Amino acid sequence: MPNAELARHRLDDRLKALPSPGSLTRPHKGWIRAIRDALGMTTGELASRMGVRQQTISDIERSEQHDAIQLNTLERAAQAMNCRLVYALVPETTLEETMMNQARRRAVQHLAAVSQHSRLEDQAVSSQELTDQIEELAVRLAGRRGLWAEERGASP
């Protein structure tokens, strides 16, 4: 098993243990405010524990609400409230499935030109044959370098 494939399978196994992406949505006013309120902690008390001014806590909570908070600030706030920051990127599907879907998209792109040429020569393949060709090509393309090049928008 190539290194990337092994790494993908191992990471997929680790990610299975995490909650689903939608189950831990951030509270409307943010995690800091929600936890601070649940603990009965004032902005002044949190400010003192973090070693910042009270107004800074309001700024921090607002920056979290607007997705502008820095991870190190979020970590400091978590520690000050006896919490642990957990940072993860949780894929919508398995990494294997995400990669295969991209490989299928690339296979469709590649075979579209071939299919058009075949139709012009009156040698079109059946829908099932085309599906089989797409899957076969996708398996060959999976894991190859450059699979994501078009989506990155980078063209060296």
The confidence band for 153, taking pLDDT boundaries of 50, 70 and 90, is very low
Q: Residue 115: its pLDDT value, please?
A: 64
| Distance, CA of 134 to CA of 117 (rounded, Å) | 16
Structure tokens that stand for 46 in this block: 């949190």
Same domain, 111 and 58: no
Residue 5 lies in a domain: no
71 and 28 inside one domain: yes
Write the pLDDT tens digit of every residue in 93-120.
899 999 999 999 999 988 887 765 555 4
68 and 24 both lie in a single domain: yes
Name the residue range of residue 130's domain.
95-152
User: Could you give the number of structural domains in the chain?
Assistant: 2
Q: Are residues 73 and 105 in the same domain?
A: no
pLDDT: is 69 or 15 the higher one? 69
Per-residue pLDDT at 149: 86
Position 50 scores a pLDDT of: 98
Residue 7 located in a structural domain:
no
Query: Secondary structure of 33-78 in the HEC alphabet?
Result: HHHHHHHCCCHHHHHHHHCCCHHHHHHHHHHHHCCCCCHHHHHHHH
Better-predicted residue by pLDDT, 39 or 119: 39
Can you give the pLDDT at residue 52?
98
Q: Which residue has the higher pLDDT, 118 or 11?
A: 11
Among 33, 53, 80, give the residue marking a domain's end: 80
Are 67 and 33 found together in one domain? yes
Residue 122 covered by a domain: yes
Same domain, 71 and 109: no
- The CATH number assigned to the domain holding 45 equals 1.10.260
pLDDT at 56 over 70: yes
Provide mean pLDDT across the span 65-73: 97
Q: Say if residue 99 is in the same domain as residue 130.
A: yes
